């Protein structure tokens, strides 16, 4: 070998330690976070459909499930038909409410958090994550169901 210098250096990634397992889910507060772009139909936070720089927080405290026509996906990276018809395929509110009623989880956080992952830079994703984490910590959330597409 000859020495060379690449024009495409591999970026250094943050190493995030794996969180310890939750010993008793029946006492845990669980939140939903998605990069699948599920939002109220009017997209009140104006989250972009690709290369997102925004995220939204949506109150589901009085909902047992997300209804199509009330919520939709704004994600540009996949066919939206299934997610628009049943947003629970991206944000599994219905399944988590059932677990809550059965006592399998302690409680579901009253909000879910959403953005779009397609084309979003690592820097923007990290910034949005840091902002969302503040809310999760304030609410004493123990675990997150993170769904993507």
**Any idea where the domains of the chain sit in the sequence?**
31-147
pLDDT at 16: 83
d(CA 63, CA 110): 9
Going by pLDDT thresholds of 50, 70 and 90, the confidence category of residue 13 is confident
Q: What is the DSSP string of 32-89?
A: EEESB-EEETT-TT---SSS----EEEE-TT-SSPPBTTEEE--SSS--HHHHH-GGG
At a CB cut-off of 8 Å and minimum separation 6, what does 51 contact?
118, 119, 120, 121, 124
Q: What is the mean pLDDT of residues 16-29?
A: 94
pLDDT at position 14:
81
DSSP type of residue 116: B
pLDDT-based confidence at residue 20 (cuts at 50, 70, 90): very high
What is the pLDDT, as a whole number, of residue 4? 86
pLDDT at 79 over 90: yes
Q: Residue 95 has what pLDDT?
A: 98
pLDDT at res. 12: 81
Q: What is the pLDDT of residue 97?
A: 99
DSSP 25: G
* Average pLDDT of span 57-81: 98
Q: Is the pLDDT of residue 114 over 90?
A: yes
Edge-to-edge order in the sheet of strand 29-34: 56-59, 107-114, 29-34, 143-147
What pLDDT is stored for residue 15 in this prediction? 86
């Amino acid at each position: 070998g000859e020495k060379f210098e690449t024009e495409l250096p591999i970026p250094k990634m943050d190493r995030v330690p794996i969180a310890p397992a939750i010993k008793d889910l029946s006492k845990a507060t669980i939140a939903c976070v998605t990069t699948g772009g599920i939002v109220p139909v009017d997209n009140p936070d104006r989250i972009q459909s690709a290369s997102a720089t925004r995220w939204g927080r949506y109150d589901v405290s009085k909902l047992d499930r997300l209804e199509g026509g009330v919520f939709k996906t704004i994600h540009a990276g996949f066919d939206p038909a299934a997610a628009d018809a049943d947003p629970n395929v991206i944000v599994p509110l219905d399944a988590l409410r059932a677990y809550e009623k059965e006592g399998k989880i302690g409680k579901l956080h009253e909000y879910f958090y959403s953005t779009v992952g397609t084309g979003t830079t690592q820097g923007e994703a990290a910034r949005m994550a840091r902002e969302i984490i503040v809310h999760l910590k304030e609410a004493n959330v123990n675990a997150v169901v993170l769904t993507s597409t």
